[in-house]
Amino acid sequence: MSDALQCKYAYKPCSNERALKKDGERHRLCAFHRDRANAVQKVYATRRRRERRRERREKLVAKLLGKIEPVPFDGRTQIQDNQAIDSEMADLLIPDSSESSGGSDTEAAAALSEGEEAYLLTETSSC
Picking from 27, 45, 69, the residue at the C-terminal end of a domain is 69
pTM comes to 0.46
**Predicted pLDDT of residue 125:** 63
2 plus 46 within the same structural domain: yes
The ranges of the chain with pLDDT < 70 are 74-81, 95-111, 123-127
**Predicted pLDDT of residue 89:** 75
115 plus 93 within the same structural domain: yes
Write the DSSP symbol of residue 94.
Answer: S
**Predicted pLDDT of residue 117:** 75
**Predicted pLDDT of residue 81:** 67
13 plus 54 within the same structural domain: yes
Domain total for the chain? 2
57 plus 80 within the same structural domain: no
82 plus 44 within the same structural domain: no
CA 93, chain centre distance (Å): 39
**Predicted pLDDT of residue 86:** 74
60 plus 81 within the same structural domain: no
Of 14, 19, 16, 12, nearest to 38 by C-alpha is: 19
- Domain span holding position 61: 1-69
Q: State the Cα–Cα distance between residues 94 and 100, nearest whole angstrom.
A: 10
